[in-house]
Amino acid sequence: MDKILEGLISSDHTVPVKRAIVKKVVEAAEKEVAEEECQALFTLTTRLILLGDDAFQKQVGYQVLEAYARYHRSDFECFFSKDFVVSLLQQGFDQLDRKDPAAIDYIHCCLRLLISCPSVLEIFSVIQVEVLRMVCERPDPALCARLSTMLSDFVQCIPRDKSGILFCQQLVRTISYFHCFASQEQELREYVGQVTKVSALLQNIWKADPATLLPSLQEVFAIISSTDPSFDPSIALASLVQHIPVQMITVLIKSLTTDQNVKDASMTKALCRMIDWLSWPLAQHVDTWVIALLKGLAAVQKFTILIDVTLLKIEMIIPHVVHLVQSLRTDGLPTSKAFLLQFTELIHCMMYQYSGFPDLYDPILEAIKELPKPGEEKIKLMLNQSAWTSQSNSFASGPLRHAGKSETGRTGLVNLGNTCYMNSIIQTLFMATDFRRHVLSLHLNGSDTLMKKLQMLFAFLAHTQRAAYAPRNFLEASRPPWFNMGAQQDCSEYLRFLLDRLHEEEKTLQVLESAKPKVTSPADTCSKETTAQTPSETGEESFLPPVESKQDDDRRTLIERTFGGRLITGIRCMHCNSISEKEEPFTDLSLAFCPSAASQDGLQSAGPSEEPKVLSQGSVNGGSEMPEPGSGKAPTSHVHFVPVTNEPPLTVPDLVNYFLAPEILDEENAYFCEKCSSLRRAEKTMKVVSAPEYLILTLLRFSYDAKCHIRRKILDNVTIPPLMRLPVHDPSMLSQCSSCTSSPLQVDSPESSENLAKKLKPSQRDEEEDENERIDGAEQINGGGDTPVQSVPYVLSSVVMHSGISSESGHYYSYGRNINGTDGTQHPANFFTLKESVKNGQAKCSLSACSAFSVPPEQGETHAISGQEARDWLLFNDSRVTFTSFQSVQNITNRFPKDTAYVLMYRKQELPGQNINRGLTANGMRLSAEPPLQKELLDAIIKDNKLYLQEQELNARTQALQAPSSSCSFRPNGSDDNNPPGSCGPSGGGGGGGGFNTISRLVF
């Protein structure tokens, strides 16, 4: 009979014919058959089942085997012995591998045929040993699923007692190795089905033998809490959670959270992986366990773990929020609307708590713009309901896992603990192309100056292969003495201190160099007056000559030549018309906000009802909107708030013009006229007489409310023009143009700072009269043929944004645009027209030439640059650097009211045939290309890049050992500040962005 069957299978007959003959063979099983013939048939059918070429052969094998085993059971017992089972499981069958699932299916079928035979008991005992061995070998999901099916049908094959506990533990660990590499839906369904069968087996074992449950759960926790970087457990473990009795949550969580042997790092890992389980398709009760564990950790005040886990996993939300909101709107479920409203509130809380990433939050705001937004008080209430605080940062000493550089190719700066104020300023200075190139071109080998550290920092920002560089050395060298380490600080104050230090350092080294007898070209001090009040460092031995030689008549420092300008402060006695003038230097202009017309009669009387755009943070200490470089405390500001009006939003030129407006000195602030020898009513004006190469503007947004004794932030939106003009006076012609009003701020003059906010905004009638006088005066001057005022064009280079409601809280980030070329002709901003104000290389002295104004683009030219601007602008947010657009810069405050421009940097454009201010072009200061790296810088960067590559290789080898994670994670760049509420982090932000970093932290 076996010969007939074998010949039939290999014949060319049609399938129907073969089926008919097979049917005859099966019917013949009822008859008497010799033992040898039965054994031959069992061998043939086993071969067909295990090694059959197609499904038909396997089907025939099962049909014939079942028929003859049923009618000839004793013969089948002899064939399917325990030795045969051991051989099949340990060695396979002929060409069939021992781990082939077909072997398990075959044994499963044979056990059903022998279930009533005594010999099956011996086979059960053999299988108990073999399945434990197989599970320890980590079978794949397909084999494990077939094994689970067999064991579920024949529980006698499951190991017992201690072996049973070990079997459950090993089966749990086997599940942790299940990883799905399929991409097709059918394959994914098969994978989930296989995992479900294995978890169902464990459920049956736990129910039958409760003693196996706790050891199994201990094994689960041991797996998910492992900090071994070479092992990444599968989220298939989530399939076990639904089988754990919910009644055990309280006991298990309490035991887990109070176990002293569980380290914080292990608990953090475990909780993160449990959160990953939420993505398992059939996960049930996972959220219940996660919430219970969070509450358990909070109950024992393990807030550090909670904060770290939140920061590591919060970023998983961002890429899916928009899709989730859309799904909740369209799924039609009755509970979706309520959940959507609650979810929207949580989103606003997140954006309030973690501000500064508008590029991430813009799509989310667009998706929820039609949903109700909770008020600020409600947001604060929600945030304070379950506030977690931590005194330590568990990642402070751990390795930062930096991903590769972003598509921008730019390098971020690691936040070293509320150092966003420094990072934003450094990136702004780095984006000042001329300044960066000249810092890199200085010969500073062997020196230990602050300029040397800045040069090294710039070199790393330009050439490191790291995604983010940690400026620890520069922070230690440049941090003002009164800045507390780890505390939030004012970026404008830091900028002034940094520039003063660099300026004084170079002056000191020039003096030391000039004192050397062998120096052929001694350098004198660079200016008659200096803005710095900080003591210079005279202990440094290196000297700082730039690559290019300075002209004999220009020994200004690099800071003066780059950022320095000069202004003349004039006071005219309105009784005798005598004028007193004083020329002073400046490095930035601090622009106050214009007081409202309603508050002209009493600037100190603005009440809360007149301040709808200003938020209060309560009583705070320190902070400064106009600090003195050498002082740890800031003078009280007299800046006031602008009530809501129907007027168009303020612009930067509006603030400059208000700054340039005349100031009336009267009453308690009357001027003592030496000619009159008495106090007189006087007019104070300040005129820019030397335009800086880079114009730094600081918007005075932080002020002290003397009535409420609190500091406030002015949240008014200020439009930032991409190109503006600054009136610069010829100092030799000032007496001929005394009616022209221009008064740039002298930032280092306490007098001008004190009186800045006391300027009165003229009435409409006064403005008309002043305008007529200015136009008449301009006509007279033009008629004389002289041009005492030049309208100097500036193009926007960088903007530092402050996100928050106080100078002591919130977050700083910056926008920057790389301006290339030796002059303005190569910059994209030159698409903006200058035709209307430039003729023969000189600007006509008109009304607009005596005040600042922005230059709008001509029609058609905006489209020409829009595509380029979309990638020219960069958003620097600590470690994170992304492309953005100028439109984002202009609309940021509209989108996120607490995110406001604070420090702006404009770069001067030289007009054809014009050389204003004996600027950098005259000295050959504008370099057309990046200077080559000096050997010392190059060696340091090469050394660090090699170290970085070694780190990457080590990470790559580690990753190769572990299977890819099936969880979804979004890891953009950016390491951000972490501080208690009111700092550069929690409770400090506006509606801006988030803090996403290279170690997946969402905090500032």
Q: What is the pLDDT of residue 193?
A: 92
pLDDT tens-digit map of 37-65: 888 888 988 998 998 888 888 888 898 88
Distance CA 790, CA 739 (A): 15
What string of DSSP letters covers 194-263? HHHHHHHHHHHHHHH-GGGHHHHHHHHHHHHT---TT----GGGHHHHTTS-GGGHHHHHHHHHT-TTS-
More confident site: 899 or 604: 899
Q: What is the pLDDT of residue 87?
A: 92
More confident site: 972 or 793: 793
pLDDT-based confidence at 960, cuts 50/70/90? low
Contact 995, 314 (CB under 8 A): no
pLDDT-based confidence at 387, cuts 50/70/90? low
pLDDT-based confidence at 975, cuts 50/70/90? very low
User: Is residue 645 pLDDT above 90, yes or no?
Assistant: no
For tokens 């604070």, name the residue.
Answer: 902
pLDDT tens-digit map of 424-444: 999 999 999 889 999 998 888
Please, which residues bridge with residue 469 across strands?
413
What letter does residue 159 receive in the DSSP assignment? -
pLDDT-based confidence at 965, cuts 50/70/90? very low
Cα-based distances in Å from 449 to 102, 351, 374: 75, 41, 51
10 Å CB burial of residue 34 (0-12, 13-18, 19+) is exposed
Q: What is the pLDDT of residue 667?
A: 86
Q: Which of 124-133, 651-660, 731-740, 756-765 has the highest mean pLDDT?
A: 124-133
User: Is residue 642 pLDDT above 70, yes or no?
Assistant: no
Q: What is the pLDDT of residue 856?
A: 60
pLDDT-based confidence at 668, cuts 50/70/90? confident
What string of DSSP letters covers 495-561? HHHHHHHHHHHHHHHHHHHHT-TT-SS----S-SS----SPP----------SSPPPTT----HHHH
For helices 120-136 and 82-91, the axis angle rounded to 10 degrees is 20
Q: Which of 207-216, 322-331, 742-751, 819-828 has the highest mean pLDDT?
A: 207-216
H-helix or E-strand containing 672?
strand 671-673
For the chain, the average pLDDT equals 74
Tell me what percent of the chain is helix, strand and coil, each rounded to the nearest 5.
50, 10, 40
User: Is residue 774 pLDDT above 90, yes or no?
Assistant: no
Q: Which residues contact 511 (CB under 8 A, 6 or more apart)?
A: 524, 525
Helix (H), strand (E) counts: the chain: 33, 22
Catalytic residue annotation: 420, 811
Q: Which of 310-324, 419-433, 706-720 has the highest mean pLDDT?
A: 419-433
For tokens 């400026």, name the residue.
Answer: 471
User: Is residue 630 pLDDT above 50, yes or no?
Assistant: no
Q: What is the pLDDT of residue 921?
A: 45
Q: In this predicted structure, which of 9-23, 146-160, 219-233, 841-855 has the lowest mean pLDDT?
A: 841-855
Distance CA 62, CA 402 (A): 57
Enter the tokens of residue 809: 């809280």
For tokens 């909780």, name the residue.
Answer: 271
Enter the tokens of residue 365: 């705001």
Q: What is the pLDDT of residue 402?
A: 44
Q: What is the pLDDT of residue 624?
A: 33
For tokens 């303020």, name the residue.
Answer: 650
More confident site: 349 or 992: 349
Q: In this predicted structure, which of 171-185, 800-814, 964-978, 988-1002 has the lowest mean pLDDT?
A: 988-1002
pLDDT tens-digit map of 118-160: 888 999 999 999 999 999 999 999 999 999 999 999 999 999 9
- Summarize the confidence of residues 546-557 as an average pLDDT: 55
pLDDT-based confidence at 906, cuts 50/70/90? very high
Distance CA 535, CA 554 (A): 24
Distance CA 367, CA 322 (A): 6
Classify residue 357 as left (phi > 0), alpha (psi -120 to 50) or beta. beta
Q: What is the pLDDT of residue 381?
A: 81
Q: What is the pLDDT of residue 486?
A: 82
Cβ neighbour number for residue 253 with a 10 Å cutoff: 18
Q: What is the pLDDT of residue 897?
A: 84
pLDDT-based confidence at 714, cuts 50/70/90? confident
Contact 542, 447 (CB under 8 A): yes
User: Is residue 532 pLDDT above 60, yes or no?
Assistant: no
Contact 983, 617 (CB under 8 A): no
User: Is residue 491 pLDDT above 60, yes or no?
Assistant: yes
Q: What is the pLDDT of residue 819?
A: 59
Contact 827, 819 (CB under 8 A): yes
Q: What is the pLDDT of residue 758?
A: 38
**What share of the chain has pLDDT > 90, as a percent?**
21
Q: What is the pLDDT of residue 176?
A: 93
Distance CA 412, CA 297 (A): 34
Q: What is the pLDDT of residue 162?
A: 92
User: Is residue 378 pLDDT above 70, yes or no?
Assistant: yes
Distance CA 302, CA 310 (A): 13
Contact 898, 810 (CB under 8 A): yes
Please, which residues bridge with residue 671 across strands?
680
Q: In this predicted structure, which of 235-244, 470-479, 725-734, 988-997 has the lowest mean pLDDT?
A: 988-997
User: Is residue 628 pLDDT above 50, yes or no?
Assistant: no
pLDDT tens-digit map of 209-263: 999 999 999 999 999 999 888 888 998 999 998 888 888 888 888 888 888 888 8
Shortest CA distance to 98 belongs to which of 108, 85, 88, 113?
A: 88
Q: What is the pLDDT of residue 409?
A: 84
Cα angle: 724, vertex 726, 728; to 5 degrees = 155
